Chain A
Amino acid sequence: MALSLKIAALAAAAAFAASTAFAEGYPDRSITMVVPFSAGGPTDTVGRLIAEKMSADLGQQIIVENVGGAGGTLGAGQVAAAEADGYTILLHHIGMATSATLYRSLAYKPLEAFEYVGLVTEVPMTLVARKDFEPTDMASMVAYVKENADTITMANAGIGAASHLCGMLFMQAVEAPIVTVPYKGTGPAMTELLGGQIDIMCDQSTNTAEQIKGGTIKAYAVTSPARLDIFPDLPTVAEAGLPGMEVSIWHGIYTPKGTPAEANDRLSAALQKALADPEIVAKFAELGTAPSAAADATPAALKAKLEAEIARWKPVIETAGVYAD
């Protein structure tokens, strides 16, 4: 008894010493940012842009490591199992919330395995069609889709991808079953849309903005609550008569469970500073998105977002009966 008390006291003292030492020195070496998708993709781009700016503030290099595979769950699982010392962080998107339902045998529990740093950005999606698709605006498009439901095809980037979720919401909204065609990622899906092999698709503005500007595809609405600066004429889904179809690919930064609060707060401060940087604002704008506000780039805001989104997508995915494992 006396011994175990002694051990406990020692452990507490050690922990205290560690945490104070932590607060002073963190970070004193480079940090690994795991991006659970392959290099070059939109999430990787967001990660690399933000990592560079955060490095400047932290005074230590943040190294981006791509651990792709299994819809981002491999990389997330790796971070969940990593040492909770603040030197391994995870940049993940909406997939963090959907994977909780899509994968029935995850090695980690999304709500329990992580600490939170903050939201990074919410990338809006756009509802687009091949350039010679008949309807001219959202209202006529909904009518057209209802009328021709059995000939229209809709692309997505695979089971559980944001484009798939957005497509499910669209079908619920127009109350018409459309044939959906999965692709391996939005790149090939976009190629087929450009070639007119497929009719409609829901994809993030990062991928569609340049094509819309170039007139190679037609845009009908954005899935954000407000119109986008780059497309002031493009209505929101609510304005176009499809309320409840709002969906964004939100990105957040996480650390393994048990990471000291000092580290998370330090990272959060660096994140907020990075997001306010004019260069980040400008580069995000070119991607058709905006950095999250400082109030959202906090541990509490990200935690609330993850909880709300898991609750939101659970019934959608379960109703559709699609699982990724």
Chain B
Amino acid sequence: MDLLSNLGLGFATAASPENLLFCLIGVILGTLIGVLPGIGATATIAMLLPITFQLEPVSSLIMLAGIYYGAQYGGSTTAILINMPGESSSAVTAIDGYQMARKGKAGTALAVAALGSFFAGTVATLLVAIFAPPLTVIALKFGAAEYFSLMLLGLVSAIALAHGSILKALAMVVLGLLLGVVGTDIYTGTQRFTFGITAYADGLSFVALAVGVFGIAEILRNLEGEQDRTVLGTKLGALWPSRADLKAMIAPMLRGTALGSALGILPGGGAVLAAFASYTVEKRLSKTPEAFGKGAIAGVAGPESANNAGAQTSFIPLLTLGIPANPVMALMVGAMIIQGIVPGPNVATDQPALFWGIIASMWIGNLMLIVLNLPLIGLWVKLLKVPYHVLFPIIMAFCSIGVYSVNSNVYDLYAVAAFGLLGYVLLKLRCEPAPLLLGFVLGPLLEENLRRAMILGRGDPSVFLTRPISAGLLVLTLLVLVVVLLPSVNKKRAEVFSESD
């Protein structure tokens, strides 16, 4: 009954009129900022950090958390409407979500994303409340070898992200890996492929890459001809998911939530995998895998649930260990320290009202988001009616502001321009940008952990097999490889049989 009294304390804290207000402010700000292309939660929280000085610690953290998951919601909106993902997770939503929008089902896609996120948020919040300490133990079992195997699994799965040629998907993953190499090698301090530009010493910006290859490329494509231009503007279609749509999203939502919750707790970049992993799983399990990439509901519901579940459970390492799982969590640590609360293993016992208040506010915030967002869908969809000659310059302006605001680095803007062109070329070549993005995100983690595992293992590669979690992940990787190659194997078999007949 400890849990009930704790949750009671949490809800009592989070439901005070003041905290409710800050939660609401947080989610509204987050949604608005998330909807602005290119401006993500990191930049927003960094900008708003000084404001929180004046607030009570609980209120300020509730507000910041609200901005965080509000921005996740908002980020999906731009991904669906204008193919402009602000974070790695919404890059997956963009694949099928944007296709749905092009078919005139933007409203349905937004509703599916919102419902999936809410469901996942609710489940993940419960998980955080009940299982935070034991889950932490699992997260700590992940060393370099385990992360390497996990990233390998993610990369192999990335091939399944593509619809169409496996060869092209592979090429995109490799291109992503190469782009990920840019920057300072942490083991030797050597700068790789920076061409002497110190602004790239920490690597290329993910936001710049995502905005470029997805958003800018899409704008360029739309500028090509009158015909394409009218596609989005004329048909808006049904706003709400039909009963069949709802039925189609239940299973992906459940699986996405489970995957996202599990991967979200890993502090070393596990959360970025969640949405990608969910997409791969859904495509494999689907009876109509050919629909993926052309506007499949499961391709939106699964990854959206996974990404939101991961966003919630990534609070676990922060709350139980004091360790930030991603840049946004690092900002939360900064906010806590400024408030005089140094995050560490004792936060739950020293500051129960704060700890449980934040957890309770997560659920309240998610509830607010869905109440807020469902009616807004109609409004967002109407945005598509804005003529392109008005919409595109606005998008470009916000992208530039957003990308610049992350690091105050002009070179990130040059990168957006270059990647926009690259993305356009890739579109023309019918190459998918999603595997590229995944390669870019996972490549550096893969290399870093491979080399670290080898250093820790004194150069003995067997560490990957002798550690049980790592070995298990490698077996899974092998399985995925087999499954990916299976259809072609089957086809050949079928041919052989027909010949022998």
Q: Taking beta carbons and an 8 Å cutoff, which residues of A are in contact with B?
A: 38-42, 44-45, 48-49, 52, 63-71, 73-74, 77, 102, 107, 153, 158-160, 179, 181-184, 187-188, 190-192, 194-198, 206, 209-211, 213-216, 282-283, 286-287, 322-325
Contact = CB atoms under 8 A, between A and B. Distances in A.
B346 A210 contact: yes
A117 to B, nearest CB: 21
B140 interface: yes
B330 A40 contact: yes
B456 interface: yes
Nearest to A39: B46
Contacts of B332: 40
Interface in B23-53: 42, 45-46, 49-50, 53
A40 B327 contact: yes
Given A211-B344, A213-B344, A179 B458 contact: yes
Contacts of B408: 65-67
Contact of B198 (A39, A73, A206): A73
Given A181-B452, A182-B187, A287-B342, A197 B330 contact: no
B106 interface: no
Given A39-B49, A187-B323, A77 B188 contact: no
Contact of B189 (A63, A67, A325): A325
A160 B327 CA distance: 22
Interface residues of B, number: 52
B346 A68 contact: no
Interface string B330-362: 111111011010111110000000000000000
B448 interface: yes
A325 B53 CA distance: 38
A184 B53 CA distance: 28
Interface of B: 42, 45-46, 49-50, 53, 139-144, 184, 186-189, 191, 198-199, 201-202, 267-268, 317, 321-324, 327, 330-335, 337-338, 340, 342-346, 407-409, 448, 452, 455-456, 458
B343 A210 contact: yes
Contact of B342 (A158, A195, A210): A210
A325 B188 CA distance: 9
Contacts of A196: 140
Given A107-B198, A324-B189, A69 B409 contact: yes
A236 B167 CA distance: 60
A191 B199 contact: no
Contact of B345 (A74, A188, A216): A216
Contacts, number: 151
A209 B342 contact: yes
A183 B269 CA distance: 14
Nearest to B347: A210
Nearest to A151: B458
A286 B342 contact: yes
B188 A283 contact: no
6 contacts: A39-B330, A67-B408, A69-B407, A159-B184, A187-B267, A210-B343
A325 B191 contact: yes
A179 to B, nearest CB: 6
Given A38-B330, A194-B140, A48 B186 contact: no
Nearest to A209: B342
A209 to B, nearest CB: 7
Given A44-B334, A191-B323, A213 B346 contact: yes
A211 B455 CA distance: 26
Nearest to A184: B186
Contacts of A69: 198-199, 201-202, 407, 409
A65 B340 CA distance: 22
A282 B339 CA distance: 11
